[in-house]
């Protein structure tokens, strides 16, 4: 009797194993939630989002920039942007593995917004929970450094909101990339004059022009690949930009679509 049943069991086991071991890989879709330092280049803002989406996504990966100029964690929800992000992530899930990047702080830290750092952490944790609830993966992002220098060093102005985002990541066990630290380090390495070439306009040391978007979008890509290695095949930094970032050397890449 055993001679007949064993091969059958072995066959069933083989089918079950291969079904579990080789699921059809879906390319990632990145939905970018944030303020003007993530947003599309425009008169009032411009961040790393479009540089990331335009130049680093390969092999069927896609994404959309939901960055909103002036947004806080409170206004992004109240104004309906957050619902749009969740809806996009939910509807992408059939064809893609959805990811939502979450970067807030530049406006949340303004005293007139009346958002405490404890509130900011709680708001970010809530975003993380809601991303997971629609079947997507959250990635917290600490705030892109401003490019104001004093005595040859970037003036650190985002320490409070960076700490709040790190606290949110540790509370929620979400992935986090420390864009604040990485961008500060790069800017310190290239110096004030080179850093200012990424300004949206000469006196705007917060928002990025197209070239700056490509530089810092590629920095985000390298950080995501390190933190979320399963997307590496799809998030491919532009080679010369990645080399310059790693070496701390100045680069001014053409903005392209
Ligand atoms: C600031 O927020 C606190 C806590 O939510 C609230 O009690 C206070 O009234 C707010 N202040 C202003 C000026 O909005
Ligand atoms: C990204 O692509 C769009 C659409 O082609 C283009 O309008 C925009 O200038 C590009 N931005 C960057 C930063 O590459």
pLDDT per residue over 20-42, tens digit each?
555 668 999 999 999 999 999 99
Domain assignment of residue 180, given as a range: 27-247
Average pLDDT, integer, range 193-220: 98
Ligand 1 centre to CA of 217 (Å) is 36
Q: Supply the CATH number for residue 182's domain.
A: 3.40.50.1110
Give yes or no for residue 51 CB within 6 A of ligand 2. yes
Banded pLDDT at 127 (limits 50, 70, 90): very high
Nearest-atom number in ligand 2 for the CA of 53 is 1
Q: What pLDDT score does 22 carry?
A: 53
What whole-number distance in Å separates Cα of residue 54 and Cα of residue 64? 10
Residue 255 belongs to a domain: no
User: For 132-183, how does the pLDDT look when each residue is reduced to its tens digit (9 = 90+)?
Assistant: 999 999 999 999 999 999 999 999 999 999 999 999 999 999 999 999 999 9
Residue 1 belongs to a domain: no
Residue 76 belongs to a domain: yes
Nearest-atom number in ligand 2 for the CA of 211 is 13
Q: What pLDDT score does 23 carry?
A: 60
Number of Cβ atoms within 10 Å of the Cβ of 157: 14
Q: What pLDDT score does 254 carry?
A: 82
The pTM score is 0.91
Higher-pLDDT residue of 191 and 6 is 191
Measured by CA distance, the residue closest to atom 8 of ligand 2 is: 257
Q: What pLDDT score does 1 carry?
A: 42
Q: Give the percent of the chain with pLDDT over 70.
A: 90
Q: What pLDDT score does 9 carry?
A: 46
Ligand 1 centre to CA of 11 (Å) is 66
Residue 254 belongs to a domain: no
Q: What 3-state DSSP class applies to 32? A: strand
Residue 85 belongs to a domain: yes
Measured on CA atoms in the order 212, 218, 220, 222, is the torsion positive or negative? Answer: negative
Phi, psi (5° rounding) for residue 149? Answer: -115, 150
Q: What pLDDT score does 183 carry?
A: 98
Average pLDDT, integer, range 98-106: 98
Distance of CA 54 to the CA centre of its chain: 14
Torsion of CA 168, 170, 176, 178, to 10 degrees: 90
Measured by CA distance, the residue closest to atom 11 of ligand 2 is: 50
Measured by CA distance, the residue closest to atom 3 of ligand 2 is: 257
Number of domains the chain contains: 1
Q: What 3-state DSSP class applies to 197? A: coil
Banded pLDDT at 44 (limits 50, 70, 90): confident
- On the question of pLDDT at 10 being above 80, the answer is no
Ligand nearest to the CA of 111: 1
Distance of CA 168 to the CA centre of its chain: 15
- On the question of pLDDT at 2 being above 70, the answer is no
Residue 257 belongs to a domain: no
Distance of CA 58 to the CA centre of its chain: 16
- From the CA atom positions of the chain, what is the Rg in Å? 21
Ligand 1 centre to CA of 159 (Å) is 23
Give yes or no for residue 54 CB within 6 A of ligand 2. yes
Residue 3 tokens read as: 């001679």
Give yes or no for residue 46 CB within 6 A of ligand 2. no
Average pLDDT, integer, range 85-95: 97
Please name which of 126, 128, 110, 118 lies closest in space to residue 167, comparing C-alpha atoms. 118
Give yes or no for residue 210 CB within 6 A of ligand 2. yes
User: For 51-70, how does the pLDDT look when each residue is reduced to its tens digit (9 = 90+)?
Assistant: 999 999 999 999 999 999 99
Residue 179 belongs to a domain: yes
Residue 6 belongs to a domain: no
Q: What pLDDT score does 20 carry?
A: 52
Give yes or no for residue 214 CB within 6 A of ligand 2. yes
Please name which of 39, 81, 51 lies closest in space to residue 253, comparing C-alpha atoms. 51
């Amino acid at each position: 009797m055993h001679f007949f049943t064993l091969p059958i069991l072995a066959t069933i086991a083989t089918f079950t194993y291969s079904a579990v071991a080789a699921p059809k890989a879906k390319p990632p879709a990145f939905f970018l939630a944030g303020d003007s330092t993530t947003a599309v280049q425009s008169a009032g803002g411009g961040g790393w989002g479009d540089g990331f989406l335009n130049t680093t996504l390969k092999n069927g990966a896609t994404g959309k920039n939901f960055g909103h100029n002036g947004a806080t964690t409170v206004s992004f929800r109240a104004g309906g942007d957050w619902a749009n992000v969740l809806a996009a992530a939910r509807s992408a899930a059939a064809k893609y593995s959805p990811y939502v990047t979450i970067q807030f702080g530049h406006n949340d830290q303004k005293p007139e917004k009346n958002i405490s750092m404890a509130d900011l952490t709680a708001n970010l944790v809530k975003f993380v929970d809601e991303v997971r609830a629609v079947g997507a993966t959250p990635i917290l992002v600490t705030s892109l450094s401003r490019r104001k220098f004093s005595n040859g060093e970037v003036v650190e102005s985002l320490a409070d909101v960076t700490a709040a985002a790190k606290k949110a990541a540790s509370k929620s066990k979400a992935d986090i990339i420390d864009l604040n630290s990485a961008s500060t380090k790069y800017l310190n390495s290239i110096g004030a004059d080179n850093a200012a070439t990424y300004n949206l306009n000469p006196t705007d040391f917060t928002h990025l022009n197209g070239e700056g978007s490509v530089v810092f979008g590629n920095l985000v890509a390298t950080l995501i690949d390190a933190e979320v290695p399963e997307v590496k095949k799809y998030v491919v930094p532009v080679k010369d930009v990645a080399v310059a970032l790693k070496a701390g050397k100045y680069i001014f890449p053409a903005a392209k679509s």
